[in-house]
Amino acid sequence: MSDYLFSGLKVIDCATVIAAPAAAMMLGDFGADVIKVEQPGQGDMLRMLSDVPATPYADSNWFWQMDGRNKRSISLDLKTRGGLEVLHKLVAECDVFITNQPYTVREDIGLTYEMLKPLNKKMIYASLTAYGEAGEERDRKGFDQLAYWARSGLMDLMREPGTKPAQGLPGMGDHPTGVALYAGIVTALLRRERTGEGGMVHTSLLANGLWSASGIAQGVLAGGDMPLYRELNRVDMAMMRPYRTKDDRWLQFNMIRNEELLDLLLTALDAIHLLADDRFSTPELMYQHRGDFGNALQAIVETKTKDEWLPIFESLDLPVNLVAIVEETICDQQIFENRMAVRPEAPDIDTPLIINHPVKVSTVPQVGPTRAPELNEHADEILSELGYADDDISTLREEGALGSAT
């Protein structure tokens, strides 16, 4: 592992489910030694997400292989003296400690930054919360569906006027939030390299949801006229709505943003005659009657299939996109050629393709992916590295501080 950027970096992943563990996974992808601390029994709930009805069933534990890769696992009961003692020894030797435990839990068992800092003043402590480090909502629990999607306003904004809000996808806010936490950790590591000082990094699901909504939310904070915005957007601009083809696929004309491109689009659609309509004869009138204009385009688009339309648009170099369906990912060469998803080389990974995180540096090689660990798989190895003898390890198991051997 010495050939990787973060080789020798010790990371404690004392977090659960997706966002914070994903940040730890990214560090592991660049060579860090990531030790995942899980509760005895079932471990991290992330291990079970491949089997819930909200995700596609497959023959492998694909969610765990994606986000649990490149880590070692130890299961500790942190409510026991022995389990907490092991964690403290891990903290004393680590470079990065990552947690998303609710603050009430951190305070009860001594996992806040202030409580752990005396053990390792050079440590980077990375905290993920649902709603932020301060305020009356600090202690609220929340997954990305609640904090990132609903609480930020995204859930309300991302719907057709008059329709009910749509639920988000599993991990939709967690994964970008994990990237933000990773960025904070790397920034703090650079500061430590320059000053020798550790520190605390934090972000929240709400902060990242607000950042995703900032193209509208910043306008609100600037005193923007939201009633007018909502009224104007009750009817989409003609280039801001999707168009259904004859074979029930959708086309996106969003990048048709000037008169030259619009003329080319109308040529492609054999619809130049629409410009002779008094309702559409000027850009101003076209906007005023945007609903009618869009409906006229829809009536034309639905006469041909996507395979008929796309070559026509390509021949005129028009920036028209087909709205993809996720089932097409498995044969999307653009994804594979850019290593957005990779075929694992490790023979013990039973998931045929694994999605990569989006951070790529041409001069920084990436590990694996290696197989995500079984629960408590590396306990004896990790404890031995901390100086525990075999008898000590057996005692921890007997006292219930350590999960059972795999």
Span 188-197, pLDDT tens digits? 999 999 999 9
d(CA 183, CA 201): 10
pLDDT at 177 over 90: yes
- Return the pLDDT at 405: 75
Angle between helices 390-398 and 81-93 (to 10 degrees): 130
Q: Do 351 and 284 have their domain in common? A: no
Note the pLDDT tens digit of each residue in 242-288: 999 999 999 999 999 999 999 999 999 999 999 999 999 999 999 99
Q: Do 353 and 300 have their domain in common? A: no
d(CA 123, CA 180): 19
Cβ atoms of 305 and 247 closer than 8 Å = yes
| Burial of 171 per CB tally in 10 Å (0-12, 13-18, 19+) | buried
**Segment 67-93 mean pLDDT:** 96
Query: Is 219 part of any domain?
Result: no
Q: Do 273 and 392 have their domain in common? A: no
Query: Is 76 part of any domain?
Result: yes
Mean pLDDT of the chain: 95
pLDDT at 293 over 80: yes
- Return the pLDDT at 220: 97
- Return the pLDDT at 341: 95
Q: Do 189 and 86 have their domain in common? A: yes
pLDDT at 2 over 90: no
Q: Do 250 and 315 have their domain in common? A: yes
Residue 121: CB atoms within 10 Å: 10
Note the pLDDT tens digit of each residue in 142-157: 889 999 999 999 999 9
CA distances (Å), 179 to each of 7, 19, 41, in order?
A: 20, 8, 29
Domain boundary at 270, 291, 326, which? 326
Omega of the bond leading into 344 within 30 degrees of 0 (cis)? no
Domain boundary at 264, 294, 326, which? 326
Q: Do 81 and 139 have their domain in common? A: yes
Domain boundary at 326, 360, 383, which? 326
Provide the residue type at 382 as one letter.
Answer: I
pLDDT at 30 over 70: yes
Query: Is 223 part of any domain?
Result: no
Query: Is 3 part of any domain?
Result: no
Query: Is 197 part of any domain?
Result: yes
pLDDT at 83 over 60: yes
Q: Do 307 and 382 have their domain in common? A: no
Domain count, the chain: 2
Q: Do 209 and 321 have their domain in common? A: no
Q: Do 178 and 114 have their domain in common? A: yes
Query: Is 231 part of any domain?
Result: no
Cβ atoms of 325 and 242 closer than 8 Å = no
**Segment 64-70 mean pLDDT:** 95
**Segment 330-334 mean pLDDT:** 94
CATH label of the domain that carries residue 67: 3.40.50.10540
Q: Do 318 and 349 have their domain in common? A: no
Which residues are CB-neighbours of 64 under 8 A, at least 6 positions away? Answer: 46, 47, 49, 50, 372
Q: Sort residue 387 into left (φ over 0), alpha (ψ -120 to 50) or beta.
A: left
CATH label of the domain that carries residue 265: 3.30.1540.10
Q: Do 37 and 171 have their domain in common? A: yes
Which residues are CB-neighbours of 138 under 8 A, at least 6 positions away? Answer: 103, 129, 131, 132
pLDDT at 13 over 60: yes
- Return the pLDDT at 174: 96
pLDDT at 119 over 90: yes
d(CA 373, CA 277): 65
Which residues are CB-neighbours of 184 under 8 A, at least 6 positions away? Answer: 126, 201, 202, 203
Query: Is 404 part of any domain?
Result: no
pLDDT at 368 over 90: no
pTM equals 0.94
Domain range for 171 is 10-213+339-398
Q: Do 169 and 287 have their domain in common? A: no
